[in-house]
Amino acid sequence: MDYRDAGVDISAADDAKGRIKVLAKGTFNAAVLSEIGSFGGLFRPDFGRFEDPVLVASTDGVGTKIRVAVAAGVHDTVGYDLVAHCVNDILVQGAVPLFFLDYIALGRMDPQRVESIVAGFARGCAEFGCPLIGGETAEMPGTYAPDDYDLAGFIVGVVDRKNALPQRVRPGDALLGLPSAGLHTNGYSLARKALFETAGYAIDTVIPEIGGTLGRALLAPHRGYLAALEPLVERRKLRALCHITGGGFPGNIPRVLPEGLGARVRKGSWEVPPLFRLIQKAGAVPEEEMFRTFNMGVGMVVVVAPEDLHDVEHSLERRGETSFVIGSVVEGQGVAFE
Amino acid sequence: MDYRDAGVDISAADDAKGRIKVLAKGTFNAAVLSEIGSFGGLFRPDFGRFEDPVLVASTDGVGTKIRVAVAAGVHDTVGYDLVAHCVNDILVQGAVPLFFLDYIALGRMDPQRVESIVAGFARGCAEFGCPLIGGETAEMPGTYAPDDYDLAGFIVGVVDRKNALPQRVRPGDALLGLPSAGLHTNGYSLARKALFETAGYAIDTVIPEIGGTLGRALLAPHRGYLAALEPLVERRKLRALCHITGGGFPGNIPRVLPEGLGARVRKGSWEVPPLFRLIQKAGAVPEEEMFRTFNMGVGMVVVVAPEDLHDVEHSLERRGETSFVIGSVVEGQGVAFE
């Protein structure tokens, strides 16, 4: 008996490693001192422009969006999703990315599959300027079905302590919503159950109101808001940012509000994209549950002092970013919809 | 239909988060500026004693050791394994830990199970001085069986550039082996197949030569070598370190040797622990396959200049660490056994 008999193919792993190395190298910058394949990735930070640099780290997964990717046979987008998700998570603290690492666990080591997945990571890492300096690719027969896998991403960024968000959030601050591209990476278990199990749609069912197949709409990549928001963080024009992820509006907005403050959100102030309405109808999901599961078309909420609102809106517009005032900060707690 | 109907229980997730928060807080030091629950963990590094600080990051999983944990119903050791594994991976570059993040994905959100897992992470993080500053806990019904889960860990450390390992490895350098505590985190797919499927043992089978049940022996925690080796890194007494993980001796030793150098390893120079012989016999695993799958009783290989060998051996001994000369660096490539 050898390791291959036990379902672990070291030769396939070596093949996969070779492909990863090429893709990762394409994301490197001058700060990266190591090659992929060392035990740890080496990164020499340049903190010259920071008065008091603080590292900001975050980790996440893409949840069961992977099962949609598997059903659709499209594997080069979920890695991108994960990078964008992680970039947004540290952006919320005011941080810009330094580097990224990935964890891939598969039921069967398929070098081409791994290459597709890592291509997604590499595309995101290149776009957001965070080199992919390390990772782990594990073949775990028995834990994962042969065709299935899971991903985790880890990001480290830096913020000057004086720019760390949130800060000075006050009642009367405006909440600006930035549009999401779809479900991003949250709510897929509910969406899949509603669409595929209850309504009986298939991954390739064409739905006219969403402009194509369900698979395509569900795999729409997670948007990263770094380019639009970084200049505003630098100019200290923002009081807080809130990435709408698992838990939706009520699960995330209170995370960036100080004790004693809540949010009022006007539901009619933006158009909920048809994909969310489709899921809601297919699964007869109560409206409240929709808002605590999905982003409902708002991927990032920006908290701005009233006197800065026009400045921020124009800055976003100049960078091609749409925004809409969805509510305000109020005395109280939690999120009240109106 | 709500999220719970789709197999995702947000209330259980909130319960788990509360438990994680308490455990993580116990690992904090003065550098941690955030609470668990923010989008990113904030860490303010003190690089005062470093001339040219380089960040070293690594990520890993524990592979199918988790399936042994599930079979044994013991969940508070695999997190420790993962921290020790990650600490060793960056130690190999000469780095000391700064902070750690965890990713936990489960088939069913069981707050008590999560608390056990995180207790293992927290124990490791406290022991190795790397605060647990963030993480993600994801319920993914469908990807994981209800009772199953997977873990990934992510570590960031720092090394002064002049102390980064490996450096100056030359033919004639000695290879010192430090004992492992068991399989650590590699080779579990093969071990499980050999012991449970082929030989028909059960998790609670008592095997006299391994001193107890198979479950206990297989779950023996991954050893972290930080305390024993950090002083030697500081004193620049080491040329390289090699963490024996997936790929065993031939898969790891060459990773820290420069082009044109290989290793000669004398098999009889240490005693292979009975657990490895048991697996070998149970699965009729060829000797070569054993050495490219398992650590065979050597968890870390230390590469030392001949003139420093006695100094290093005595330093290790003073810290209660056993070591044995297992071979040397030679001209050539790969690992030759004799």
**Does the beta-carbon distance from B40 to A90 stay under 8 Å?**
yes
Q: Give dist(CA A62, CA A153) in Å, integer.
A: 9
Is A29 in the B-facing interface, judged by CB distances under 8 Å?
no
Q: Would you call B259 helix, strand, or coil by DSSP?
A: coil
Q: Among A3, A44, A139, select the one facing B289 at the smallest CB separation.
A: A3
SS3 of B106, please? Answer: strand
Question: Cβ A60–B136 below 8 Å, yes or no?
Answer: yes
From its phi and psi, is residue A169 left (phi > 0), alpha (psi between -120 and 50) or beta? beta
Contact B282, B194 (CB under 8 A): yes
On whether the CB atoms of residues B230 and B95 are closer than 8 A, the answer is no
Concatenating the DSSP letter of every residue in A175-230 gives EEEEE-SSSTTS-HHHHHIIIIIIS---TT-EEGGGTEEHHHHHTPPPPP-HHHHH
pLDDT score of A38 = 80
pLDDT at A36: 72
In chain B, residues with a C-beta closer than 8 Å to the C-beta of A52 are 44
A12 touches chain B (CB under 8 A): no
SS3 A302: strand
pLDDT at A279 over 80: yes
CA–CA distance, A144 with B32 (Å, rounded to integer): 35
Contact B93 A38 (CB under 8 A): yes
Summarize pLDDT for A291-335 with one digit per residue, the tens: 999 999 999 999 999 999 999 999 999 999 999 999 999 999 999
Give the lowest-confidence range in A162-171, B35-44, B49-58, B95-104. B35-44
E strand spans, B107-258: 132-139, 149-160, 174-179, 206-207, 212-213, 240-243
CA B182 to each of CA B83, B203, B218, B225, B266: distance values in angstroms, whole numbers, following the listed order: 16, 16, 7, 14, 20
The average pLDDT across B249-268 equals 95
Percent of chain B with pLDDT over 90: 91
Say whether domain A174-337 belongs to CATH 3.90.650.10: yes
Question: Which residues numbered 77-96 in A keep a CB inside 8 Å of some CB on B?
Answer: 88-90, 92-93, 95
Of the two residues A39 and A28, the one the predictor is more confident about is: A28
For the stretch B109-143, pLDDT in tens is: 999 999 999 999 999 999 999 999 999 999 998 89
DSSP state of A32: B
Contact B214, B195 (CB under 8 A): yes
Asked if B57's CB is within 8 angstroms of A40's CB, the reply is: yes
Q: Is the ipTM of this complex over 0.90?
A: yes
Confidence check: pLDDT of A37 > 80: no
Judging contacts by C-beta atoms under 8 Å, the chain B residues touching residue A98 are 55
- Does A174-337 match A10-161 at the fold level? no
CATH architecture of B10-163: 2-Layer Sandwich (3.30)
- As a whole number of angstroms, the distance between CA B272 and CA B295 comes to 9
DSSP state, residue A141: B
The closest of A120, A213, A180 to A300, measured between CA atoms, is A180
What is the rounded distance in angstroms from the CA atom of residue B258 to the CA atom of residue A8? 28
Distance CA A93, CA A78 (A): 24
pLDDT digits (tens, 9 = 90+) for B27-65: 999 999 987 778 899 999 999 899 999 999 999 999 999
| pLDDT recorded at residue A14 | 87
- Those residues whose C-beta lies under 8 Å from the C-beta of residue A307, and which sit 6 or more positions away, are none
Give CA B256 to chain center in angstroms.
Answer: 17
* Two structure tokens written together for A309: 């609102």
CB contact under 8 A, A102 and B59: yes
Question: What does the pLDDT read at residue A29?
Answer: 96
Question: Hey, what's the torsion of the CAs at B124, B126, B127, B129, to 10 degrees?
Answer: 110
**B143 interaction partners in chain A (CB closer than 8 Å):** 64, 66-67, 144, 148, 150
Reported confidence tier of residue B224, pLDDT bands at 50, 70, 90:
very high
Contacts for A150 with CB less than 8 Å, ≥ 6 apart: A61, A66, A104, A105, A144, B105, B140, B143, B150
Pick from A1, A150, A193: which is nearest to B284 by CB? A1
What are the structural domain ranges in chain B? 10-163, 174-337
Query: Which of A163, A153, A31, A161 has the alpha carbon at shortest distance from A100?
Result: A153
CA distances from A330 to A253, A292, A335 (A): 12, 20, 9
DSSP label at residue B297: T
Q: Is A157 on the interface with B (CB under 8 A)?
A: yes
pLDDT for A3 beyond 90 = no
Please give the CATH architecture assigned to the domain spanning A10-161. Answer: 2-Layer Sandwich (3.30)
Sheet with A335-337, edge to edge strand ranges: A240-243, A298-304, A174-179, A324-331, A261-265, A335-337
